[in-house]
Every structure is written in structure tokens, then in C-alpha cells.
Amino acid sequence: MAGSCVQKPFADGLFPDTRPEAEAALIELLRQAPAWRKVRMVDQLNHAVRLLALSGLQTRYPAATPQELRRRLADLLLGPDLAACAYGPLAEQEEHDAALANSRDPVNARRPT
């Protein structure tokens, strides 16, 4: 009973919508491929993922500059904390932090901006 809750990854194969014979042929071709070809395939997949992520960012932030989009892409790829350390905070984050600091400062909070 204890083992019944554990699922084996790829128990039904890598591609559940592919016939087992075709999947076996693909796996064999991948095994026979030279290392440089496998590295190139991974590089192409990484490039495609970046393009898809950038496209999604362009949809979410249509008014963003190319620099802002690249910075937001860094957030997705590196995480917000590491991206901020590497590239500085997003402009909107700087504005938010400045507004928050002014709201905590009773002297500056009364000044018009």
C-alpha cells in the first residue's frame, strides 16, 4: 500500500500521445546523437523559452521599453532578488520604495510632489 502512492516519472513513456515504437526510435536517435548536437538542441530550446517569455512580457507590459523588458526577463530567469542585485531594481520598484519612504517621513509626507 505504501508504494501505491508513489508515481514513477515517465511510467507511461516520455510522450503519452506517441506510439511506443515511434518513441523508442526517437530515444535511440537521441542516444546516437553526438554531444555537440545535444548541446545545440538544448541551446535552441533555451532560446525558444526566452523568446516565449519575452513575448509574454511584451503582452503584459505593452508600453515597456526594450530595456525594461530585458530587466523583467532577468526577474523571470534569475528571480527578483538576484536580478535586482545584478541589474538594479526595476524603475517601478524604485518609485514604490521612494513613495513608501516619503509616507514614513512625516516632514516629506506633507510636501507636494
pLDDT digits (tens, 9 = 90+) for 74-93: 999 999 999 999 999 987 66
Domain boundaries, the chain: 19-60, 63-113
Q: DSSP label at 4?
A: G
pLDDT digits (tens, 9 = 90+) for 36-62: 999 999 999 999 999 999 999 999 999
Report DSSP letters for 24-39, one per residue: HHHHHHHHHS-HHHHH
Per the CB < 8 A criterion, the answer to whether 23 and 13 are in contact is yes
